[in-house]
Structure 1
Amino acid sequence: MPIDSSAADNKNIKQIICIKWGTKYGADYANKLYGMVSRNITPPFRFVCFTDDTTGVRPEIECQELPPLDVTMPTNTLGKWPKSRLWGERLGDLTGTVLFVDLDVIIVDSLDPFFEYGKPDDVVLSYNPSNPLERLGQTSCFRFQVGALVSLQEKFKANPQGIADKYRFEQRFVTRNAPGGVKLFPKAWVAHFRRKCRQPFPLNYIKEPKIPKGARIVIFPGDLYPTHAIEGRYNKNAANNAKDHLKRITEPKNLKRPLRHLRHFILPVGWIEKYWKE
């Protein structure tokens, strides 16, 4: 069960945070995330959503204002740089250890180990499989002490666009610049949907994506969201059935890389709705 914020000085309280700005994600994402957290954590816990719009957010969620950051956010970059709001000396009324989780994840097992791994003051990121030759963290799920990343925010504030142009992704900036370095959670705990869940060709046409062994959280980087996966779409513009997907192989962009097109197909994912609910 969640707890009253007045008891937040109890070191045994697990603090989960998320951030919601703009219109990309509605209140339903925060509500479902809270539901998944509450079913996969040992109480007591706090769930805090930093947001500019509390409309429709379920009452169990502690909504707090977006942490202030007076900068112009970078443009034409792939990184989620508004997450830099979380790096300040203060983070609402929170203190101590927090676990940040993206809004569009699926939680499939206990979150308790994320609070037990390493030392309390470690900055711990998820393993990023996208660049296997680079030790790179993933900020879809990461743990830190409030105020521990102030130096990152100061560097970013000094030259937001320059930092974004150099590092492209905020997770690379955090990985390379966090004071004292970063640790990574065990690889299996946070599974990249496209890389670890979807079936290899040609099994992707006869078997739905799987939950990898040892996974606790499934993340959806890029332009594939849980709603698309439920429908059997590889992205928002993809076909949701094999017949239509195979027809598109004749399009010029797909003729250049036919195997890639064949691989980029998934069947509807039934298990997402089992977990992704309030």
Structure 2
Amino acid sequence: MKQIICVKWGQKFGPDYVNRLYGMVRRNISGPFRLVCLTDDARGLRREVEAYALPELGCAAPQRSMGKWRKLVLWGAELPALTGLSGPVLFIDLDSVIVDNIDGYFSYGDPEDVILARNWAKPLQRLGQTSVFRFPAGRHPQILAHFRANPQGIADRCRFEQHYITEAVPGGIKFWPEAWTRHFRLHCLPPFPLRYFMPARLPQGAKIVTFPGGPNPSDVQLGRWSEEQPAHPGRLAHLRAGFGPGRHEAKLWRHLTRFVMPVGWIGEHWIE
């Protein structure tokens, strides 16, 4: 039984994201599987999704950090008892797009390994990225316990939850094969200014495309960077907006680089 888990809390992602993830997994996996969702609101989830109450972090949430520290509940000793999960479990962020068969994510490496995507935003450092990672459920509760003892200090030092995981896993982490997990902005989106003339490409060999730090796949398929932008205003309209009241970013350079043409392959894969 292949096991997948996701986390949904707050207002950023609705139940459609979880349902869409289930559909993508079902189309791109062999044999039986289960999708577990830890959430603070299970309304609207399709019946095949196993929803469980999202555990509390167990300490004060860090205040001066961008990290998604709530994801650390995945490392709690109570996770197997809460969900029935045991052995290797694959976590997938809700804003990920599955584009090919993911069986390899379950057979790669040793079942006891903690395997992450490489953090390609910092290629010279051996850092992991937790948009897609596999871990043995309940085997490393000391990671969460250690964090609970000094949450603000760890957050101030590591800044991001994934940086803390990189250093906290006993024996170290491993990485997926390079081609499998691709970062949309870094591996799919053409560099500025080519993105004004070329749509984002789907890299050869990719299985899952991740969107850490945005933009959101729901916006990209419409040809916009965020909900605040009109859908595909056209390159000239976007350029003109940068020098007028239609600019959505404080810095001109940030506005100019945040342009994306509509991406058709997202709509082909990112559906329930």
**Fold shared per TM-score above 0.5:** yes
Aligned residue identity for 1:28:
D
Deviation at 1:70, TM superposition (A): 2.1
2:145 maps to 1:154: yes
Deviation at 1:249, TM superposition (A): 3.9
Superposed CA deviations along residues 127-155 of structure 1, whole A, max 9, x for unmatched, are: 11000111111100000101223111011
3-state DSSP of counterpart to 1:138: strand
3-state DSSP of counterpart to 2:90: strand
3-state DSSP of counterpart to 1:188: coil
Q: Name which of structure 1's ranges 143-152 and 30-39 shifts more when overlaid on structure 2.
A: 143-152
Counterpart position of 1:218 = 209
Counterpart position of 1:72 = 60
In the aligned structure 2, how far is the partner of 1:23 from the partner of 1:125?
26
The partner residue of 2:6 within 13, 18, 27 is 18
The partner residue of 1:209 within 200, 223, 226 is 200
Aligned residue identity for 1:210:
R
Would you say how many aligned residue pairs link Structure 1 and Structure 2? 263
Counterpart position of 2:49 = 61
Q: Name which of structure 1's ranges 26-35 and 227-236 shifts more when overlaid on structure 2.
A: 227-236
The partner residue of 1:37 within 13, 16, 25 is 25
Aligned residue identity for 2:223:
G
Aligned residue identity for 2:140:
L
In the aligned structure 2, how far is the partner of 1:114 from the partner of 1:57?
25
Q: Unpaired runs of 5+ in structure 2?
A: none
In the aligned structure 2, how far is the partner of 1:222 from the partner of 1:68?
24
In the aligned structure 2, how far is the partner of 1:34 from the partner of 1:134?
33
Superposed CA deviations along residues 69-128 of structure 1, whole A, max 9, x for unmatched, are: 321211232111000111111312211110000011100011111111111100100111
Tell me if the contact between 1:125 and 1:143 (Cα under 8 Å) persists in the aligned partners: yes
Q: Unpaired runs of 5+ in structure 1?
A: 1-12
2:259 maps to 1:265: yes
Tell me if the contact between 1:209 and 1:267 (Cα under 8 Å) persists in the aligned partners: yes
Counterpart position of 2:223 = 232
Counterpart position of 1:246 = 239
The partner residue of 2:36 within 42, 45, 48 is 48
Superposed CA deviations along residues 45-84 of structure 1, whole A, max 9, x for unmatched, are: 1111111111000001111121343212112321110001
In the aligned structure 2, how far is the partner of 1:52 from the partner of 1:261?
34
Question: What percentage of aligned pairs have identical amino acids?
Answer: 50
The normalised TM-score by structure 2 is: 0.91
The partner residue of 1:138 within 96, 114, 129 is 129
